Amino acid sequence: YGTGHELHFLCFLAALAALGALAPADVAAAVLHAFAAYMTLMRALQRRYQHEPAGSKGVYGLDDYHHLPFLFGAAQLDGNPDGLTPDAVLDAGKVRAHADNYLYLAAIQWILEEKRGPFGEHSPTLYDITAVPNWAKIQSGMTKMYHGEVLAKFPVVQHLLFGPLLPFEPAAPA
């Protein structure tokens, strides 16, 4: 299991939007509810069946399986009413207290439950991100990282099915 599976779920949501079943005003709710429920299911399956990560970058990736909860979660946390700053992920109590409400913190909670040892050792990239001054900058970086590490990788996108709901538009020559 890996980021390609997440991408397919995102394509499913995009197809719903293309069909008109998901209005533009509903996109945030689709991420905060449908995608969050998808993540809960995937984590339960990963834990129960001990899924191997697909293409894991080990300690140098965000997490062995996921990227989108960090991207969407950073956007969700930008301007959050709880005053949570990026370094809040270093406080296990804050993570626990807010994991049910924020995708990013739920992803951190998952890592804290699944990995052993100091956070900075098993998740150095996420640890380094705690020094970024605000969630908007993290979200911007996560978007760039998603493009470079997921969308620009042939082993991931080769499995996408393009068609009327998800058209393929080749990039202009550089």
pTM of the predicted model as reported, rounded to 2 decimal places: 0.92
pLDDT tens string, the chain, 174 residues long: the values are 889 999 999 999 999 999 999 999 999 999 999 999 999 999 999 999 988 888 766 545 688 889 999 999 999 999 999 999 999 999 999 999 999 999 999 999 999 999 999 999 999 999 999 999 999 999 999 999 999 989 999 988 999 999 999 998 888 887
Please, which residues have CB within 8 angstroms of residue 18's CB and are 6 or more apart in sequence? 165, 166
Largest CA distance in the chain: 50
125: which 2 tokens?
A: 């990239």
Q: How far apart are CA 82 and CA 20, in angstroms?
A: 34
Q: How far apart are CA 161 and CA 38, in angstroms?
A: 20
Please, which residues have CB within 8 angstroms of residue 159's CB and are 6 or more apart in sequence? 4, 8
CA 93 to chain centroid = 22
